[in-house]
Amino acid sequence: MNHDHDHDHDHDHQSDDKVHAYYQILGQALKELLIEKGVVTAAEIRSAMERRDSITPVNGAKVVARAWVDPEYRTRLLADANAAVAEFGIEMPTTHLVAVENSPEVHNVVVCTLCSCYPRDLLGLPPAWYKSKAYRSRVVHAPRAVLQEFGTDVPDSVEVRVHDSTADMRYLVIPMRPSGTENWDEDALRALVTRDTMIGVATVDALSSSKFPIPIAD
C-alpha cells in the first residue's frame, strides 16, 4: 500500500483502506468533471505529468557542479539564485530561490515544517520522508539527531543551520566539494551530487567520491 506513513496509526487498517479508496475515487471524479466542464483538458493533465516526470535532481546537480568549478558562477548563485539557475533554463517565476553553501564551519539542511515546499524545478517531487510529520517536526529542534538517522554525522564544531521553506521561498544546499576531486571535470562532479546532498541530509563524502562514480542518466 502506498501512503505517506505520516498519520497516526491509532485506527485500524481496514478503515484506512476505505479512506484511501474513497479519495482515489474522489480524485478521479474531480478530474472527469473538470474535463467535462472544460476547466482543464486531459492533454493539459498529461502534459503536466510528463513535465513532472522529466524533472530530476540532475537539474540541481548541474547547478552545484558549475558552482564548484566556476567561482564567478558560485558568486552569482549565492547572490541571486533565481537568475543563476535561469542560466540553465530553469525558471522559477513564482518562488524566491536561495542557495546556501556548506563549508567546514557550517552545514545547511532544508525542511518545510508547515507543508512540503521544495525546489521542485531543481530536484523533482519531494521524497516521502521530506513530507513526513517525523521529519517536519523534528529537524528544526534536533537536527543533528535527524541527520544521524540519515547516516550523516556532523561534528559538534560545525554549526548546523536549518532553513524552513515557505510557499514563497525555497532553498538549495550547495554541498561541499569533496577533496581529491580537484582535477575532475564538471560532468564527473555532477554525478556525485545527489538529491539528499542538496536537501542537506547527506554530504558528498569520500566514499561516494571514489574514482568510479555511478553516472546519473542525463
Please select the residue that binds another protein; options are 73, 86, 121, 138, rule is CB under 8 A.
138
By beta-carbon proximity to another protein, the closer residue of 45 and 79 is 45
**How does DSSP assign 73-88, residue by residue?**
HHHHHHH-HHHHHHTT
Q: How far apart are the C-alpha atoms of 172 and 71, rounded to whole Å?
A: 17
Please select the residue that binds another protein; options are 74, 136, 170, 190, rule is CB under 8 A.
136
Binding mask 172-201 for another protein (x = CB under 8 A): ------------------------------
Indicate whether 134 belongs to the interface with another protein (CB under 8 A). Answer: yes
Please select the residue that binds another protein; options are 101, 121, 149, 205, rule is CB under 8 A.
149
**How does DSSP assign 83-108, residue by residue?**
HHHHTTT---TTSEEEEEE--SSEEE
Please select the residue that binds another protein; options are 74, 129, 153, 211, rule is CB under 8 A.
129
In whole angstroms, how close is the CB of 200 to another protein at the nearest point?
14
**How does DSSP assign 1-39, residue by residue?**
----S-S---S-HHHHHHHHHHHHHHHHHHHHHHHHTTS
Indicate whether 96 belongs to the interface with another protein (CB under 8 A). Answer: no
Catalytic one among 47, 103, 115, 210? Answer: 115
Closest CA to 154 of 102, 206, 119, 110: 102
Binding mask 13-42 for another protein (x = CB under 8 A): -x--xxxxx-xxxxxxxxxxxx--x-xx--
From the number of C-beta atoms within 10 Å of its C-beta (0-12, 13-18, 19+), residue 77 rates as: buried
Q: Is 129 helix (H, G, I), strand (E, B) or coil?
A: helix
Site of grid cell 538549495: 172
Indicate whether 46 belongs to the interface with another protein (CB under 8 A). Answer: yes
197 in Cβ contact with 122 (< 8 Å): no
In the residue annotation, 112 being an active-site residue is answered as yes
By beta-carbon proximity to another protein, the closer residue of 79 and 134 is 134
Closest CA to 201 of 156, 159, 162: 162
| Residues classed as catalytic | 112, 115-117
Contact residues for another protein (CB under 8 A)?
2-8, 11, 14, 17-21, 23-34, 37, 39-40, 44-46, 48-49, 51-53, 94, 111, 113-116, 125, 127-129, 131-138, 140-142, 146, 149-150, 164, 167
